[in-house]
Amino acid sequence: MDYEKIKPLFFRLDPEDAHHLVTGALQIGEAVPQLFNPWVKRNFVDDARLHQELFGRTFLNPVGLAAGFDKDAELIRSMTAMGFGFTEVGTVTPKPQPGNPKPRLWRHIQEEALQNAMGFNNKGSYHMQIKLEKRYPYVTPIGVNIGKNKVTPEKDALKDYEHGIKAFRELCDYLVINISSPNTPGLRDLQNEAFIDALFDMGKSLTDKPILLKIAPDMAKEEAVALCARAVEAGADGIIATNTSIDYSLVKEPKEVGGISGRVIREKSFEIFDAVADELFGKTVLISVGGIDSGYEAYRRIRAGASLVQVLTGLIFKGPELAGNINRTLLKLLEKDGFASIKDAIGADRK
């Protein structure tokens, strides 16, 4: 499939309508997985040099789908067909919620960026539990990204995360605490050390499954590093950096709402990740996300200390062969630099 030829047709549609059109088509393949066999053969790179053991699972390649695309765990087979080595579903909240009023998703085509004010629209934890009971355990690792409902007051936020941990601790390979989306009022206020302490104290008492923290890119570097270090001390098994940005100066014609993702946040995301890695590389698992749309950028994050990388917006602009292309480029770069495997390249710029 030549994505560049059909992309203009998709881009004539409202972004959210285009997403529903694509996911609706993918769900046909979910029901008839044999349809995906040619895609898996073309896109999924399974090379021993890319294998890693993390969180008690084998990651066949380091390129994962970030949370936000498969909000309800309905497209896990599809992501394997697209070549992803792992899938993070969600963000899921305890109760179903419609999200924010439409329109709430915009493209910035020249900048290869998206701006979303979705607001954790999802079918709720019960729906996702049913879906994951049919899929888990799966051939590739599955992460579940959990958040709080919009109507839940900040003082009761811990209860929503407790619900999410209990709901999915037997249905995934790792859990992610999302307190960094800009689209739920007050959510980023939870990015403080007191809440982090309470959160991981509660979470680690409920499950042995890895629990990771996802942070925003808009904090000062020192603040981000201190928060992540505190999270690791409190029991976090990894850090994901970063979520979307509310720096609206990154695009020419921004909406004054929501979070920006894609190529324009590449450097902002890298700078936060690099600062966190400078403090925590070797002490916890680091995952980098934000503006990654090529093997070269993925390799930069890996050399900076990322064991895994995630993409989402790049998938919209580059198409369904992106993960496969990134992995093939990674293999070439590993060979060029004389690394026997990806494990030798992780953090090479910090050693």
Q: Please tell me the total count of domains within the chain.
A: 1
CB 116 within 8 A of CB 258: yes
SS3 category, 285: strand
Residue 88 confidence (pLDDT): 98
- The H or E element spanning position 22 is helix 15-31
Q: pLDDT in tens for each of the 351 residues of the chain?
A: 689 999 999 999 999 999 999 999 999 999 998 999 999 999 999 999 999 999 999 999 999 999 999 999 999 999 999 999 999 999 999 999 999 999 999 999 999 999 999 999 999 999 999 999 999 999 999 999 999 999 999 999 999 999 999 999 999 999 999 988 887 877 888 888 899 999 999 999 999 999 999 999 999 999 999 999 999 999 999 999 999 999 999 999 999 999 999 999 999 999 999 999 999 999 999 999 999 999 999 999 999 999 999 999 999 999 999 999 999 999 999 999 999 999 999 999 998
Residue 182 confidence (pLDDT): 83
Q: Please write the tens of the pLDDT for every residue from 109-151.
A: 999 999 999 999 999 999 999 999 999 999 999 999 999 999 9
Among residues 181, 261, 269, 307, the one annotated as catalytic is: 181
* Spatial distance between the Cα atoms of 252 and 258, rounded to a whole number of angstroms: 15
* Spatial distance between the Cα atoms of 287 and 63, rounded to a whole number of angstroms: 10
Supply the DSSP string of 72-125, one letter for each residue.
TS--HHHHHHTT-SEEEEEEE-SS-B--SPSP-EEEETTTTEEEE---S-B--H
* Spatial distance between the Cα atoms of 285 and 196, rounded to a whole number of angstroms: 17
Reported as half-sphere exposure (CB side, CA atoms, 13 A), residue 8 has a value of 2
Cβ neighbours, 10 Å, residue 231: 26
Q: Please write the tens of the pLDDT for every residue from 180-209.
A: 888 787 788 888 889 999 999 999 999 999
At CA 176, angle to CA 86 and CA 296, rounded to 5? 45
* Spatial distance between the Cα atoms of 318 and 321, rounded to a whole number of angstroms: 8
Write the CATH number for 111.
3.20.20.70
Residue 93 confidence (pLDDT): 98
Amino acid (one-letter) located at 115: Q
Q: Tell me if the bond preceding 137 is cis, omega within 30° of 0.
A: yes
Which segments of 141-292 are extended strands (E)?
Answer: 142-146, 174-178, 211-215, 238-241, 259-262, 285-289
Amino acid (one-letter) located at 202: M
238 forms bridges with which residues in the sheet?
212, 285
Mean pLDDT for the chain overall: 96
Closest CA relative to residue 278, chosen from 347, 177, 326: 347
CB 45 within 8 A of CB 63: no
The yes-or-no answer on residue 181 being catalytic is yes
CB 40 within 8 A of CB 88: no
* Spatial distance between the Cα atoms of 22 and 14, rounded to a whole number of angstroms: 12
CB 305 within 8 A of CB 347: yes
Domain that holds residue 183: 3-350
- For 62, phi then psi, to 5°, come to -90, 5
* Spatial distance between the Cα atoms of 264 and 217, rounded to a whole number of angstroms: 12
* Spatial distance between the Cα atoms of 108 and 116, rounded to a whole number of angstroms: 11
